[in-house]
Amino acid sequence: MLIFYPRLPNGNVLWTCDNCGETAQVSEINTNAVALVCTCDMTVHPECNSKWYYQGLYWNRIPKEKRNQYSKARKDSCLRK
């Protein structure tokens, strides 16, 4: 399971810790599924999103030969907004 966070009008993603409720704005153009280390317990939250990034599942879903193309396309689409 992945948790997708809302994108704010400024383009940032609004992350919320699922343990303590702390929030942060994340500048991430490629996804709304973010995972950050929270100061409440110094672990990554949410854990399900942590696996998505830190075990390589995020990039493994895209064929290696298309990763640069995909990243550039996402960046360009966000810049046009």
Q: The whole model's pTM is what? A: 0.62
Q: What is the tens place of the pLDDT at every residue in 29-80?
A: 677 788 889 999 999 888 877 777 676 666 566 666 776 776 665 555 555 5
**8 belongs to a structural domain:** no
**5 belongs to a structural domain:** no
Name the domain count of the chain.
1
Contact yes or no for 44/51 (Cβ under 8 A): no
**33 belongs to a structural domain:** yes
Q: Report the Cα 40 to chain-centroid distance in Å.
A: 20
**7 belongs to a structural domain:** no
What are the residues whose beta carbons fall under 8 Å from the beta carbon of 44, sequence distance 6 or more?
Answer: 35, 36, 37, 38, 50, 54
- Beta-strand ranges (E) seen in the chain are 13-16, 23-26, 36-37, 44-45
Q: What is the mean pLDDT of residues 13-25?
A: 93
Positive or negative, the Cα torsion across 39, 2, 75, 70? positive
